[in-house]
Structure 1
Amino acid sequence: MEHLEIHSEYQALLEASGLAAFDALFAAGERHRIDGHLRRSASRLELRGPGGEAAVIFLKRQWGGAARPAMKDLLDLRLPMLPAKREWLNAARLRQAGIAVAAPVAWGYSRSSAGPRALIAFREVAGPSLASWLRQAAAAPESVSPALRRAVAEALGLAIRRLHDAGISFPDLYAKHVYLEGLEAGWPRVVLIDAARLRRLTVRRRWEDLAALHATTAVPGVRPADRLRVFRAYFGDTWRQAMRRIEQLAARMRGRGQDPRLKAARQAARTEGDRIISLDGGRLLVSEAFCPALEAAGLATFDAVMNLAGGKPYRRAPGRSTVRVELPDPRGGACALYVKRYTRPVREPFWRRLLCMHGPHSAADRELRNIYRVIDAGVPTLRWAALGEERPGGGAAQKSFLITEEVAGAVQADVYAEAAFGHDRSAAAARRRLVRAVARLARRFHQAGLAHRDFYLCHFLVRPQERADPALHLIDLARVTHHRGGVPRRLIIKDLGALLFSARPSPATHIRSAAFTLADAVRFARAYFQSPRLGPPEKRLIRRAAARAGRIARHEERRRRRGEAAR
């Protein structure tokens, strides 16, 4: 059973391109994907009409996973509906209210033994997104006149006011979902996209919409005055009283409007050609840069990677293992990769995420999402090569893997510290540079709302540099958690306590001698808090982190004794 509804203005365009049937349009999206996902994708199609006129449409495809949106609709006391159909109806609702939205072209669905599929297509907006325009304006301020800045801010504020006056809330009011037409003429017109989640406006939702826009326009180089003009146009004379609440809500929305897995890939796709490719029936996602090497090594299928017998064992634990492999690159040279395989699902996170309506993501998928969260926070980490998942019956992934590239010339921080500082007290300058670099990375990581939960020195990779701060990479991100309202104090204490424990001599680490001193701990605290003098709150936090390090040391000692007794 299939259905395809086409807007009358675009019937001739799709017929001329041979895309007037659901299967044809759905298959065309596979050939022109601009990003990849396990259950959805976006494609950009360049079409020709019957008269030869060019037209560009964006196609969003969805397959499988219909239970979650249906359950969310029921919890919201709404009739369950396919997301594609809801977005189609929402676009018509916005246009009827006089609000500009990307022109809908077609929507459809298919139900078969292979599972449900759905699609929706929109005409490309003739202008950049607000997010990209802000980045361009920040990079080249002289290219944007003050008059155009004011016009954009006022048009944006008035468009949001018109949206809210119609009683509509737009929960995804992020800068990437707002497009600008008519910039060349100096009369910008605001056009919205991605209207799948419209809601009835309430007082709380009004503030959340405004805070979402405010949070996602906080781009380096954007003038605060330009952002304030948006709310002056929206509120009129009462804008000053509203700004405090908007800024408080926006502070809790770090990371909103950014897909943790695909944001960086989309930004890099046009410049580096590093797109995401789907292989093996969607069970394998591969970064385009590594596709030739994996295909040449016969690792282009899920089963081939899971059954890989070679490689140097790196780490093994119940339910997971990591091996290092070197693959020849058909373009010349070789690449070293780490293959982390999970052979059973982690039940507790699975049930917790399912109850929270977040979906049963596999362990490998969670780590990949965390890689992109860490990249977006400005913290260097590993570069991923491939992700694989197997979901029997569409449920929790029983097996999964993640392949990452080795950081060339880097060693674990505890190994480096023991070799460089353990028996050489003259390397004080290099030791101080390492301490300051780790403190700055930890501060940036926590300020981004991220907690590592395994924040040991062995999870820092160090690439020493002559007379300069060492280059650091943070790894092992499987247990990273994201907190939009800021990292809880207990998790900061947990991370800093783990870091302090791993810097001490211990059988559980590679440090056997006093590589770091008490002065280094004070130096770390000053760099972490960015203060030459620590106040009472900072001292209390450091004392609690030291107590946490002591508890970890006692726990490791008990484990070591139990292991010796068992032998």
Structure 2
Amino acid sequence: MHTFIRHNKMLINKDYLDLLKDNGLDTFQALRDFNGGYFLKKNKFRSVARIELGDRVFYLKRHFWPWRERLRSVNPLMRKEDAKNEWDNMLLLNSLGFNTMTPVAFGEKKKFALSYFSLTLTENLYEAEKLEVFFPRHFKPSLDHEKINEKRAYIKKLAVLARDLHNNGLNHQDFYLGHVLIRQEEDKFFIIDVQRMHKNRTISLHDKIKDLAQLAYSAAGLGVFTKTDLLRFFHVYTGSDKLTPDNKKLARSIMLKTRKISKHDAKLQLRKKRSRGN
């Protein structure tokens, strides 16, 4: 478990305090105004920067909400996910025994009790790669018997991860293969990009279907998963080797949601293409 201390109006992982001090990044203002590194994403509401401190790599996420969004955040149903959500979810995952990003620092500024700027700093997951890259790299057809068994073991591991998340009342909401990393030497999966993850006493069927459909959609375009692979995943997830009437209904709902995600994504890609053309 990590130990955090309050320092310069931030929460900082004790193991990283000296490193941040040495680089002049142990204050909220320093991280807020930091212009170094490489921007992976940047718009008027959010930025993600990759920064190097010596031989170590970190990711700095910064969120800024204008007044309209701040006022909307009073209503929980209209609240935007920010750095606080991701920070809390990282700590929650750690407490439940799931592997995720290493939380380094968190800071937040408020006006009239409403957050308007928040940030998180996390360390890179070294020697880990996204499953959307890992599976095609290791399991392109044709596979020998050993590779088939290895692939099945990873599919089982992914199904167990999804089941354990849901059994703990967690739904990721962006549960794509690009948001699960593997460190193969340690045989560990890591869950990333958890700012939209929610915790409830029990997870709704709607949320289960959404998470599983997102996995199915991200797997469909890789060209390495067969119908048998998907069925194996489903059997492990449900804990049943038989397709009961309820499980058949669940499978149909997942397939329907997967098609909806595919259509929605196609529309977004077309819109982006037209926008670039203008």
- Closer, same or farther in 2 for the Cα pair 1:554/1:411, shift >3 Å? same
Shift of 1:557: 0.9
Residue in 1 aligned with 2:256?
547
- For 2:46, the equivalent position in structure 1 comes to 320
Spell out the pairing of 1:96-135 with structure 2 (5 A cutoff): none
Relative to structure 1, the CA distance from residue 410 to residue 530 in structure 2 (aligned partners, 3 Å threshold; closer, same or farther) is: same
Matching residue's letter, 1:455: F
Select 2:238's aligned residue among 508, 518, 529.
529
For residues 307-346 of structure 1, what are the structure 2 equivalents within 5 Å?
307-328=33-54, 334-344=55-65, 346=69
Match of 2:217 in 1: 501
Whether 2:104 is the aligned partner of 1:378: answer no
* 1:493-533 deviation digits (Å, cap 9, x = unpaired): 0110111001011xxxxx3xx11111110010111112222
| The one of 332, 345, 352 aligned to 2:75 | 352
CA-CA distance at 1:317 after TM superposition? 4.9
How do 1:286-435 residues align onto structure 2 when only pairs under 5 Å count?
Answer: 286-328=12-54, 334-344=55-65, 346-347=69-70, 350-353=73-76, 363-392=82-111, 394-426=112-144, 427-435=147-155
Q: 1:424 to 1:310 in 2, by over 3 A?
A: farther
Which residue identity does 2:110 align to in structure 1? R
Q: Is the 8 A contact 2:12 2:105 kept in 1?
A: yes
- Taking the aligned partners of 1:442 and 1:317, their CA distance within structure 2 comes to 31
The one-letter code matched in structure 1 to 2:133 is: V
Give the counterpart letter for 2:206 in structure 1. R
1:99 paired residue number:
none
CA distance in 2, matches of 1:491, 1:349: 23
Cα distance between partner residues in 2 of 1:409 and 1:472: 12
- Structure 1 residue matching 2:73: 3-state secondary structure: helix
Q: Does 1:490 align with 2:193?
A: no
Unaligned runs of 5+ in 2: none
Contact 1:456/1:499 (<8 A) preserved: yes
Helix, strand or coil: the match of 1:558? helix
Instruction: Give me the whole-angstrom Cα distance separating, in 1, the residues matched to 2:267 and 2:77.
Output: 35
Quick one: structure 1 residues 292 and 422, their matched pair in 2 at CA, closer, same or farther if it must change by over 3 Å?
A: same
Residue by residue over 1:427-451, the C-alpha shift from the partner in whole angstroms, topping out at 9 and shown as x without a partner, is 3223212211110000000000111
* Contact residue 377 and residue 444 of structure 1 kept, 8 A: no
Q: Distance in 2 between matches of 1:472 and 1:391?
A: 35
Mapped to 2, the partners of 1:534 and 1:409 lie a distance apart of 38
Q: Distance in 2 between matches of 1:278 and 1:315?
A: 28
CA contact under 8 A between 1:362 and 1:397: conserved in structure 2?
Answer: no
- Letter aligned with residue 161 of structure 2: L
Pick closer, same or farther for the CA change 1:415–1:295 going to 2, 3 Å.
same
CA contact 2:109–2:116 (8 Å) conserved in 1: yes
What is the deviation of 1:461? 0.6
Across the aligned residues of Structure 1 and Structure 2, the Cα RMSD in angstroms comes to 2.2
Q: C-alpha distance in 2, partners of 1:449/1:558?
A: 31
- Highest relative contact order (Cα 8 Å, sep 6+), 1 or 2? 2
Distance 1:557 1:307 in 2: 37
Q: Distance in 2 between matches of 1:530 and 1:289?
A: 40
Structure 2 vs 1, CA of residues 315 and 462 (structure 1 numbering), >3 Å: closer, same or farther? farther
In the alignment, what sits opposite 2:3? 275
Partner Cα separation in structure 1 for residue 208 and residue 184 of structure 2: 27
Q: How does 1:42-121 map to 2 (within 5 A)?
A: none
Q: Distance in 2 between the 1:347 and 1:545 partners? A: 35
Contact preservation (8 Å) 2:70, 2:115: no
1:165-184 to 2 correspondences below 5 Å: none
Alpha-carbon distance between aligned partners in 2 of 1:335 and 1:433, rounded to the nearest angstrom = 32
Distance in 2 between residues matched to 1:556 and 1:519, nearest whole Å = 25
User: For residue 475 of structure 1, what is the amino acid of its counterpart?
Assistant: I
Asked if the contact 1:501–1:553 (Cα under 8 Å) also holds between the matched residues in 2, the reply is yes
Q: What SS class does the counterpart of residue 503 from structure 1 fall into?
A: helix
Is the 1:412–1:460 Cα contact (8 Å) retained in structure 2? yes
Percent of aligned positions that are identical:
28
Change (3 A) 1:433 1:349: farther
- Matched residue of 2:184: which SS? strand
TM-score, normalised with respect to structure 1: 0.46
Q: State the AA in 2 paired with 1:534.
A: L
Assess, with a 3 A threshold, how the Cα gap between structure 1 residues 401 and 292 changes in structure 2: closer, same or farther: same
More divergent stretch after superposition (307-316 vs 553-562): 307-316
Cα distance, 1:349 vs structure 2: 6.7
The alpha carbon displacement at 1:561 in A equals 1.7
User: Matched residues in 2 for 1:311 and 1:526: separation?
Assistant: 44
Partner in structure 2 of residue 515 of structure 1: 224
AA aligned opposite 1:495: D
Aligned length: 272
SS at match of 1:299: coil
